[in-house]
């Protein structure tokens, strides 16, 4: 479900490998969180977070999560927020290799990273939580505002829009585009370029420029968790999620 590939020089790739769309379930979230949190102590100096061909991650595994009772869902959402915090506060750089479509939870992972390389082509990225019946969690909104500014963040969040790569690049949701077969290689090169810089200066400057992201988690993580749990179990959200699952099943 999570493939770990070491590329030498302290660069490690964490590859989401849960076909068909790398949906985030409790096991994948727990494995990814552990891999991020333990990276520095394992001698890793930079991480690349990648997905599969055409899909980075399709977001939360809604069918699996709908089967969880409230205590299990509370535990999952707490773990998910700890994963996002681990990415946001990682002591080593994390480069997102957005290999394809990246809606909802896929985009949420990417926006916590230091840098995002996205595949060119007919791929879309965005926070479409509202479109599928779930209010956008507060700490995720804060990370989005940090990247694209409050006006664009408001438009994207309220509409639940998924945008193509060119638009994502224009508004700052991703940092560059490249051919699909080159996304991981380009992300690895960016990681190596960062590691060629003086390490103390790199570390101190990363900590400074990402302090606002860490502060958002300190300030908002618990209130986000409580609201996220309540929102998930709200009748409107449950109805919308079950309708989404029914539509997906009809397409198979």
How does DSSP assign 26-52, residue by residue?
HHHHHHHHHHHHTTGGGT--EEEEE-B
Confidence of residue 246 (pLDDT cuts 50, 70, 90): confident
| Cα–Cα distance measured from residue 187 to residue 50, given in angstroms and rounded to the nearest whole number | 9
How far from each other are the two terminal CA atoms of the chain, in whole angstroms? 22
Confidence of residue 178 (pLDDT cuts 50, 70, 90): very high
Nearest to 157 by CA among 178, 184, 131, 118: 131
Looking at residue 60, the DSSP 8-state letter turns out to be B
pTM confidence score = 0.96
**Once rounded to an integer, what is the mean pLDDT over residues 32-36?**
98
Length of the chain: 252
Contact 7, 20 (CB under 8 A): no
Output the average pLDDT for the chain: 96
Please list, in sequence order, all residues whose beta carbon lies within 8 angstroms of the beta carbon of residue 98, skipping any fewer than 6 positions away: 51, 56, 106, 110, 116, 117, 118, 119, 123, 125, 174, 183
| Cα–Cα distance measured from residue 36 to residue 117, given in angstroms and rounded to the nearest whole number | 19
93-142, pLDDT tens digit by residue? 999 999 999 999 999 999 999 999 999 999 999 999 998 889 999 999 99
CA-based torsion, 90, 9, 21, 176: positive or negative: positive
- How much is the pLDDT for 248? 75
| Cα–Cα distance measured from residue 57 to residue 16, given in angstroms and rounded to the nearest whole number | 8
Contact 171, 148 (CB under 8 A): yes
Contact 13, 184 (CB under 8 A): yes
Whether the per-residue pLDDT at 46 is higher than 70: the answer is: yes
Provide the CA 6 distance to its chain's centre, in angstroms. 21
213-232, pLDDT tens digit by residue? 999 999 999 999 999 999 99
Domain boundaries, the chain: 2-195
Contact 38, 83 (CB under 8 A): no
- How much is the pLDDT for 239? 92
Sequence-ordered alpha helix ranges (H) in 89-198:
105-111, 138-148, 150-159, 165-171, 183-195
Write out the H or E segment, with its range, that includes residue 208.
helix 199-209
Please state which architecture CATH assigns to domain 2-195. Answer: Alpha-Beta Complex (3.90)
Whether the per-residue pLDDT at 1 is higher than 80: the answer is: yes
- How much is the pLDDT for 252? 64
CA distances from 248 to 35, 85, 131, 219, 242 (A): 31, 30, 15, 36, 10
Sequence-ordered alpha helix ranges (H) in 38-128:
62-66, 70-88, 105-111
């Amino acid at each position: 479900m999570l493939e770990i590939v070491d590329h030498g020089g302290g660069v490690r790739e964490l590859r989401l490998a849960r076909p068909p769309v790398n949906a985030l379930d409790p096991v994948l979230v727990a494995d990814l969180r552990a891999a991020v949190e333990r990276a520095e102590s394992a001698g890793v100096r930079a991480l690349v977070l990648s997905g599969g061909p055409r899909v980075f991650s399709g977001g939360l595994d809604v069918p699996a999560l709908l089967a969880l009772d409230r205590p299990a869902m509370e535990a999952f959402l707490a773990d998910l927020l700890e994963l996002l915090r681990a990415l946001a506060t990682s002591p080593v750089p994390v480069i997102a290799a957005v290999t394809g479509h990246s809606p909802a939870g896929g985009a949420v992972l990417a926006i916590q990273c230091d840098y995002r390389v996205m595949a060119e082509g007919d791929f879309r990225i965005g926070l479409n939580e509202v479109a599928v019946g779930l209010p956008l969690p507060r700490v995720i909104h804060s990370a989005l505002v940090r990247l694209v500014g409050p006006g664009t963040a408001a438009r994207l969040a309220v509409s639940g829009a998924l945008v193509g790569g060119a638009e994502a690049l224009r508004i700052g949701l991703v940092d560059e585009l490249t051919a699909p077969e080159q996304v991981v290689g380009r992300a690895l090169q960016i990681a190596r370029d960062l590691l060629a810089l003086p390490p103390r200066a790199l570390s101190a400057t990363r900590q400074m420029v990402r302090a606002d992201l860490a502060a958002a988690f300190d300030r908002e993580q618990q209130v986000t968790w409580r609201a996220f749990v309540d929102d998930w179990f709200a009748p409107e959200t449950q109805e919308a999620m079950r309708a989404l699952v029914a539509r997906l099943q009809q397409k198979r």
